[in-house]
Amino acid sequence: MNKGMKGIPPKGAAPGGRPKMDKDLMKRILSLLIKSYPVLIPIVIVCIVLSAVVSSIPSIFMQKVFAAVTTRVDIIRTAAGVSGLQTVPKEWIQANSAYLSEQWAAAKSEILPMVGMLIGLYVLSIIFITVQSQLMAKITQGFLDKMRCKMFDGMQNLPIKFFDTHKHGDIMSYYTNDIDTLRQLVSQSLPSLIQSAIIVVTVFFIMLWYSVPMTLVILLGISLMILVSKKIGGGSAKYFIRQQRSVANFEGYIQETMNGQKVVKVFNHEKKAEEEFDRINNELFDDSCKAHAYANCLGPIIMNIGNILYVICAIVGGLFITLSATNVSFRGLITAGSFIALPFSIDIIVPFLNMTKQFTGNINQVSQQINSVIMGMAGAGRVFALMDEKPETDDGYVTLVNCRIDENGNITETKERTGKWAWKHPHGDGSLTYTELRGDVRMVDVDFEYEPGKPVLHDVSVYAEPGQKVAFVGATGAGKTTITNLINRFYDIADGKIRYDGINVNKIKKADLRRSLGIVLQDTNLFTGSVMDNIRYGRLDATDEECIAAAKLAGADDFITRLPGGYNTELSNNGANLSQGQRQLIAIARAAVADPPVMILDEATSSIDTRTEAIVQKGMDKLMEGRTVFVIAHRLSTVRNSDVIMVLDHGRIIERGNHEKLISEKGVYYQLYTGAFELE
């Protein structure tokens, strides 16, 4: 099931699969965000910064509150004549209740304003967080909407080769799994990472403000945290990237199996399908387990290192107080102009321990968000890789226009649909010339290969005059469909020439070239919508009457009118409620309503029973009148009336002629027609 097809490797994965934090990729994400929301992004950043700073400041107020309380306690203890670990006697407390009330009133006058300011800061923090959350929801969904549109628009311009070499489930994974990891990156990981980093920096300077020695103790522990984060983060990054690939393979296999469920059951391959599913699912399980095992263990490790650091700071702080060690702080440098050596006190150590908790907690948050960022980068890399796929090139300049042709053969361009077409040639001097579209298609000495070194066509020459029906016959893989792919310019040739009405097809714009070609494929694709909508897909401006006429021409009107809703019957899931033959008839009607000058029928009646084929063949004959038609068919009865039949074998035309001529030669076609050989 397309096991050999590989998805686009995600950016952020170096050769050999080693992951890296792609700075260019991150710059690209941020650049797109700012470009998409030049006003809202700065507001969000301001809210994040203010919220982070406000979240850090309470430590200062807590220290001041604690200092105010300890100052009053020291005053009371001094007045009571106690020191050290002695307690104030109850008798003294009872005798000096008025004095104590006076001291607590003084402490209260200092503490209450600070408590009020602290409450105000928390209210501000709530406001900033609320504004940030609301704006980020709008930014994230809008950004993803733009990304999905860019992905889809870019995908429409990709060459057919891309879709031929990538699993459909893998492509779907870009729009589901990868875009979701990008959502988490933009909406959660980046804002949280920025906020936590700002808190870490702010708290770090606050700690330096109060005590340089204690801050140095914390830095020793932080260095260990950084080392652990780097080691574990690198391991998780590798498996997050592998997980994204495994998810794409998983979704690709699921879609393939669903599309081919009937085939699986017909050949009794349920067990084989289960085994293959188990293998792919186990790969996803292993990669996900390893990725999240690394990521999930990082948080607890960092948290416990922080707890150990907290205990160490408490012990060191207690020793500093016991030994009456001097404290050096930037507070002294700013207020007194020099470092003032003051002894450590409880009003410094206790708030400092709270700051230690806040500091290490946000270090842990940063390490966790880095893992989320790495996972998001893996998905973003795949999304941008799809967007960066080289679009289908088109150097053509000749366009297809509606025209009127007078009795003298003069061509006049018109915007009205006239049933006449012409090729419009712009020239360097600004002049225009017109060539009537007649349907003369010629391939001369064409060689082609899908992969270098593996030729598919060898020196193929095809001549289709206007109004001729040219049939290709041959075994699967002989090169029949490849020829029609080259006429459509789904692929470009490296050697030889293809001319359409004497014009090199490379000079014709691809959209105009394909507009002149109607195609009915063996694999029918119907879209969600009504039967009428599906027929009108061939020409979006077609009227209901034109669609019905096309259906009658194709022989589809009979069964359509017997559907519950007639032409308004809703189809879904590729027309699962219709038979394969009915779907094919709608596809033929779709081509008929387009009314193209040239038709390509690739096994167009292969899924229709013999009785239905007879009905369709009459409509097809009418459809092919006056048109150049290329027919690929396994049923030789459908090509018997062709003007030219070409028999292909391994990319070479081995026989050429009409039915009577080839029968008289008694070659490969004769043996196929009489049943001596069978097409494989």
* 431/572 same-domain check: no
φ, ψ for residue 204, nearest 5 deg: -60, -45
117 domain residue, yes or no: yes
* 507/408 same-domain check: no
Top-confidence residue, 533 or 172: 533
Q: Are 437 and 516 in contact (CB under 8 A)?
A: yes
What is the C-alpha to C-alpha distance for residues 468 and 643, in angstroms, rounded to an integer?
6
Which helix (H) or strand (E) segment is 387 a member of?
helix 346-387
For residue 408, CA distances in Å to 3, 404, 405, 435, 597 come to 60, 11, 8, 14, 22
* 464/563 same-domain check: yes
* 125/190 same-domain check: yes
What is the C-alpha to C-alpha distance for residues 659 and 473, in angstroms, rounded to an integer?
12
* 616/480 same-domain check: yes
What is the C-alpha to C-alpha distance for residues 56 and 79, in angstroms, rounded to an integer?
36
184 domain residue, yes or no: yes
- At 19 the pLDDT is 40
Q: Is 295 a residue whose pLDDT tops 50?
A: yes
Q: Is 451 a residue whose pLDDT tops 60?
A: yes
* 495/629 same-domain check: yes
* 408/540 same-domain check: no
Going by C-beta distance under 8 Å and a sequence separation of 6 or more, which residues neighbour residue 493?
446, 447, 448, 486
* 412/499 same-domain check: no
* 491/408 same-domain check: no
> At which of 174, 206, 238 does a domain end?
206
How many structural domains are present in the chain?
A: 3
- In the chain, the N- to C-terminal Cα span, in Å, equals 20
Specify the DSSP class assigned to residue 419.
S
| Nearest C-alpha neighbor of 332 from the set 421, 213, 437, 458 | 213
pLDDT grade for 255, boundaries at 50, 70 and 90: confident
* Residue 85: CATH number of its domain: 1.20.1560.10
Instruction: Give pLDDT tens digits for 52-111.
Output: 888 887 777 776 777 777 777 778 878 877 776 677 788 787 778 888 788 788 878 878
242 domain residue, yes or no: no
| Amino acid symbol at 479 | G
Long-range contacts from 615-619, C-beta under 8 angstroms, 24+ separation: 615/555, 615/558, 616/554, 616/555, 616/585, 616/588, 618/555, 619/552, 619/553, 619/554, 619/555, 619/588, 619/592
Instruction: Give pLDDT tens digits for 636-660.
Output: 877 888 999 999 999 999 999 999 9
Range name among 271-285, 333-347, 576-590 with the lowest pLDDT average:
333-347
To the question of pTM greater than 0.75 for the whole model, the response is: no
Q: Is 166 a residue whose pLDDT tops 60?
A: yes
Specify the DSSP class assigned to residue 508.
B
Q: Is 329 a residue whose pLDDT tops 50?
A: yes
- At 677 the pLDDT is 52
> At which of 206, 234, 269 does a domain end?
206
27 domain residue, yes or no: yes
Residue 408's domain comprises 399-436
Q: Is 388 a residue whose pLDDT tops 80?
A: yes
Range name among 100-114, 339-353, 380-394, 604-618 with the lowest pLDDT average:
604-618
Highest mean pLDDT among 124-128, 336-340, 644-648: 644-648
Question: Average pLDDT in the 118-130 region?
Answer: 87
Range name among 4-18, 221-235, 366-380, 498-512 with the lowest pLDDT average:
4-18
* 457/571 same-domain check: yes
- At 368 the pLDDT is 76
432 domain residue, yes or no: yes
Residues in the chain: 680
293 domain residue, yes or no: no
> At which of 409, 436, 463 does a domain end?
436
Packing angle of the helix pair 58-80, 40-56 (nearest 10 deg): 20
Q: Are strands 598-602 and 517-520 parallel, antiparallel or unpaired?
A: parallel
* 107/151 same-domain check: yes
| Amino acid symbol at 248 | A
539 domain residue, yes or no: yes
* 412/490 same-domain check: no
Q: Residue 466, exposed/middle/buried by CB under 10 A (0-12, 13-18, 19+)?
A: middle
For residue 57, CA distances in Å to 46, 51, 64, 108, 161 come to 16, 10, 11, 21, 59
Which pair of tokens denotes residue 524? 């029918």
What is the C-alpha to C-alpha distance for residues 438 and 430, in angstroms, rounded to an integer?
25
Q: Is 4 a residue whose pLDDT tops 50?
A: no
* Residue 572: CATH number of its domain: 3.40.50.300
What is the C-alpha to C-alpha distance for residues 423 and 433, in angstroms, rounded to an integer?
8
220 domain residue, yes or no: no
What is the C-alpha to C-alpha distance for residues 276 and 284, in angstroms, rounded to an integer?
13
Q: Is 238 a residue whose pLDDT tops 80?
A: no
- At 356 the pLDDT is 86
